[in-house]
Amino acid sequence: MRVRSELVAEARRLTAAEGLAGFTIDELCTTVGISRRTFFNHFASKDDVVVGVALDDDDEPLEAYAATRRDPALPPFATTFDDLSAMLVERIQHVGLTRARAAEFKAALDREPRLLGSVMRQGDEQQRRIAAAVAAHEGLDVADPRVDVVVTLMTGLAQRSMAVFFTAQGDQAQRFDAVLAEQLRLARELLAAGATAPVRTAAPVTPPLRTTDREAPRPA
């Protein structure tokens, strides 16, 4: 994991400074102090190391979550937000993502915006994996629309939390788990307010009469 982390950090630094064409895989390996063979044990390409897509990038916590089942005494999705939040915090700690490293990644993407496509594809794939894990844990079909809704909501909260934490919006002394917990609190507060608000029924709209619907004038 240390070698992988160093490869990603150095690749992003070089990309931000020189662009992807400004360095070779051999030069990257020399800087980190590994062989080409070791590099290709971890990453398939230069693009992948900058984006951070490893060859064996499995997610053991997510797989373990999918293998467990919801407490039958609880309603569906009762703990989903808390479960996914805990896994996200663990993931960020595991990969060693810090404010400084997030800034390096942004600088690399600013220099090579075409990499955004890879980032988006990675995000889409991760969202599909999360949806499958949530469905398995809840004992539901992955096509259940509630699965997509809860994962979409959690994805939005995670993105908002990262924006707050990894940019100037965040208090430099604040921990990521505290930021995420606050976003979850706000979301729950808003959803609870919406659930108790009276339902307003829109008044039926009467369409205007068409010319053909109007009574034809009678001859005098």
- Would you tell me which CATH number, out of the four given (1.10.357.10, 3.30.60.50, 1.20.1440.130, 3.40.640.10), belongs to the domain 58-193? 1.10.357.10
CA distance 151 to 201: 29
Closest CA to 115 of 45, 172, 201: 45
Phi-psi region of 139 (alpha: psi -120 to 50; beta: other; left: phi over 0): left
Find all residues with CB under 8 Å of 104, minimum gap 6, and list them: 9, 12, 13, 16
| Fold match between domain 1-56 and domain 58-193 | no
pLDDT, one tens digit per residue, over 65-81 is 999 999 999 999 999 99
Radius of gyration of the chain (CA): 25
Q: Which two tokens stand for residue 65?
A: 């979550």
15-45 per-position pLDDT tens digit? 999 999 999 999 999 999 999 999 999 999 9
At residue 12, the 3 state secondary structure works out as helix
Q: Which of the pair, 153 or 57, is modelled with greater confidence?
A: 153
So what's the pLDDT on residue 101? 87
d(Cα 63, Cα 35) in Å, to the nearest integer? 31
pLDDT in tens, 69-123: 999 999 999 999 999 999 999 888 877 788 888 889 999 999 999 999 999 988 8
Structure tokens that stand for 69 in this block:
């089942």
Question: Tens digit of pLDDT for each residue in 135-179?
Answer: 999 999 999 999 999 999 999 999 999 988 887 665 677 788 999
Summarize the confidence of residues 177-191 as an average pLDDT.
94
Cβ within 8 Å of residue 134, ≥6 positions away: 80, 84, 147, 150, 151
Which 3 state secondary structure label does DSSP give 65? Answer: helix
Domain ranges across the chain: 1-56, 58-193
Fill in the DSSP letter of residue 172. Answer: T
- Superfamily of domain covering 1-56: Homeodomain-like (1.10.10.60)
Task: Name the nearest CA neighbour of 111 among 17, 10, 47, 7.
Answer: 17
- As separate numbers, helices (DSSP H) first and strands (DSSP E) second, the chain gives 10, 0
pTM for this one? 0.78
